[in-house]
Amino acid sequence: MTARDLVKGSVAVVGVGAVGSVITYALNEVGIKPVLIHRNARVAELYREHGVKVEILGEGERIIEGLHATYGSIQPGSIGLAFICVKAYDVKNVLSELPRLLNRDSILVMCQNGLGSTELAEKIVGPNNVLQAIIGFGANRVNRHEVRLTGIGPSYIGPKRKRVPSTLHAVAKYVSELLRVINFIYVDESEGYRWVKLGINAGINPVTTILNVKNGVVNEDAYARNVALAAANEVKEVAVAKGVSLPKDPANALLSVARNTAENYSSMLQDIRSRKRTEVDYINGSVYLEGLKVGKVCLVNYALWNIVKFLERIQLRGVSR
Ligand SMILES: NC(=O)c1ccc[n+]([C@@H]2O[C@H](COP(=O)([O-])OP(=O)(O)OC[C@H]3O[C@@H](n4cnc5c(N)ncnc54)[C@H](OP(=O)(O)O)[C@@H]3O)[C@@H](O)[C@H]2O)c1
């Protein structure tokens, strides 16, 4: 059996935004033109007409290639491997439409930051059919048809926990090979990596959003750093209490990411600026709620969650201050 035979059906990318376009670019590099699943026919038609261009870190541009489709235009049971690249708050909608396109061997690769998406996917397709991708590259949408890949750090892919059938590990290894051009690394247990990323996001994202500044502030300003590190340390406490084995200290990882992305604006701040919903419920909100389950009251995450929700409400509904 070849590695490709592990995937029983077509490869699909669901949600062709920043992450979905970069993953499609990487799949194209190894000769795969995935099915690109859009939310409706109107959007699919726009993509068919205008395409998507990915600008790659000073290496030029690529037009991504794939079959633009909608849930209704795909043969039931035909998708063998699907990269779920929508925002965390859209996962529920995807999982209400996607299952009829899957078969019993289909694998979903969940690409969201924060907590909740993997758990939702596991409930619907079962824990032996879900992989987690902890995305380490940075990509922005310039507009619907143009994506900029701004940096490639290591991304990790693997099952949430080690003890799953060997075929799931084999598919994770295969996916890491497919996506090697964007530095995907197979890990036999991805949960610790997800929590380290959660610590980074729980500190940098809300602090830079509330202060309305670039990520560099976390290294440059002691007050900003204090709050960001306190949030990351709460994430560590909850992870340890849950028995998650962390490959790195989240607070140290946060400082190093803030240094490497000093000139960038966090995705949460970009969402607030573009009057879009943020993923704070799945980041600081879920740290607070997961903390309660293990007897930890994460007050820093609770405060950051509520302040960002306040900002989000002002932006989305135009509530005056
Ligand atoms: N961007 C990064 O650098 C980065 C890095 C690490 C992790 N992540 C995580 O990756 C996830 C995706 O982020 P992103 O930056 O790629 O977001 P994005 O650019 O907003 O892309 C999301 C895409 O999903 C589409 N979509 C929404 N609902 C859909 C549905 N039901 N069916 C099909 N498509 C649907 C959206 O379409 P519309 O535009 O029509 O809404 C959009 O094209 C997030 O959870 C984020 O935390 C991103």
| pLDDT of res. 317 | 80
Residue nearest to atom 9 of ligand 1 (CA): 112
Evaluate whether the domain defined by 7-189 bears CATH number 3.60.15.10: no
In whole angstroms, give the CA distance from residue 199 to residue 76: 39
Helices (H), the chain: 18-29, 41-50, 91-97, 117-125, 166-178, 191-211, 217-220, 222-242, 250-260, 267-273, 286-293, 299-317
| pLDDT of res. 123 | 97
| pLDDT of res. 320 | 53
| Domain ranges for the chain | 7-189, 192-315
| pLDDT of res. 11 | 97
3-state secondary structure of 250: helix
State which ligand 1 atom lies nearest to the alpha carbon of 43. 40
Q: DSSP labels for 210-221?
A: HHT--TTHHHH-
Catalytic, out of 197, 242, 276, 293: 197
In whole angstroms, give the CA distance from residue 131 to residue 291: 24
CB 190 within 8 A of CB 132: yes
Mark whether 197 is an active-site residue: yes
| pLDDT of res. 59 | 81
In whole angstroms, give the CA distance from residue 90 to residue 110: 12
Smallest CA-to-CA distance from 138 within 176, 172, 182, 175 is with 182
Q: Which architecture does CATH list for 192-315?
A: Orthogonal Bundle (1.10)
**Positive or negative torsion for Cα 209, 216, 228, 91:** positive
State which ligand 1 atom lies nearest to the alpha carbon of 201. 47
In whole angstroms, give the CA distance from residue 79 to residue 82: 7
Whether the predicted model's global pTM rises above the 0.95 cut: yes
Angle at 93 between CA 101 and CA 287, to 5 degrees: 120
| pLDDT of res. 147 | 97
| Residues in the chain where the model's pLDDT stays below 50 | 321
Smallest CA-to-CA distance from 51 within 37, 34, 64 is with 64
According to DSSP, the β-strands at 67-70 and 130-134 are unpaired
pLDDT tens per residue, range 183-224 = 999 999 999 999 999 999 999 999 999 999 999 999 999 999
Burial 36-49 (b: 16+ CB within 10 A, else e): bbbbeeeebeebee
Mean of the per-residue pLDDT values for the chain?
95
Which residue ranges have their beta carbon within 6 Å of ligand 1?
14-20, 37-39, 43, 85-88, 90, 93-94, 111-113, 135, 138-139, 141, 279
